[in-house]
Structure 1
Amino acid sequence: MKKIVWISLLLVILIAFSSCIPGNGSYSPARPAGFFWGIWHGWLAPLSLIIQWFVPKIQLYEPMNTGWWYDFGFYLGILGGFGGLSLSRRKNRTDRM
C-alpha cells in the first residue's frame, strides 16, 4: 500500500513540475526567464528531455531568457539536480579501501 502512495505522490509532483517546463509559451520578450527560472529549468532538465520526445513544442532550454544570468542559473540547476554538490562530500575511511 505504501508503494502505491509513493508512486501516486511522485506522479502528482511530476505533473505539477511539468507546468513550468521551458518552451511552454509562458515567456515573452517583455517578460523573459531570469536567473531563478534558469535554476528551476536546470532542475527540471531531465523531465524536460523525456517530455520533449513526446511533445515537440517543449524544449530543454528557454529561448526567451535574460542571457548570461539565465545561463548561469541553468548551469547551477543542472549541477544541483544531478548531484554535483555531492561530489565534494567527504568520504569515510572505509570508502577509500
Structure 2
Amino acid sequence: MPFSRLACALGLVLLLSACASQIDAGVSDAASAPGFWWGLWHGFIFPFAWIGSLFSSDIAVYAVPNSGGWYDFGFFLGVTVLGGGSAFGSKSRKRG
C-alpha cells in the first residue's frame, strides 16, 4: 500500500512539473541581467519584499528578466538557507 501512494505522488509531481515553463522574455543573456548573487539577495529579502508588494505595485519579489537557472538557484538558497526556511524544520520540539 505505501508503494502505491509513493508512486501516485511521484506521478502527480511529474504531471504538474510537465506544465512548468518560462517565457523567453523572462531570461536574458545581457551582462546586466541579475544573476546568482542578486538571486541570493532577493531570496534573503523575500519576506520583506512580499509584504511591500502587498502595498505597492512598484515592489516585486522576483526580478524579470534575469539570467535564468543561476538566478533561480540563488533565489532558492536565499529563501531556504539565509531566510531561515530550513532552520524551522530542523528544530526539535520538546515533548512534555
Q: Scaled by the length of structure 1, what TM-score is found? A: 0.57
Letter in 1 for 2:61: L
2:84 maps to a residue whose letter is F
Larger Rg: 2
| Contiguous gaps of at least 5 residues in structure 2 | 1-29
TM-score (norm 2): 0.57
Cα distance, 1:68 vs. partner? 0.3
Q: Indicate the residue corresponding to 2:56 in structure 1.
A: 55
Quote the sequence identity (%).
Answer: 41
SS at 2:78's partner residue? helix
Calculate the aligned-residue CA RMSD, in Å. 2.0
Q: Which residues in structure 2 correspond to 1:1-97 (within 5 Å)?
A: 29-80=30-81, 81-85=83-87, 87-88=89-90, 91=92, 95=94
Query: How many aligned positions are there?
Result: 66
Gap regions ≥5 residues in structure 1: 1-28
CA distance in 1, matches of 2:60, 2:89: 28
**1:47-67, CA deviations, whole angstroms, 9 ceiling, x for partnerless residues?**
111111222021110002110
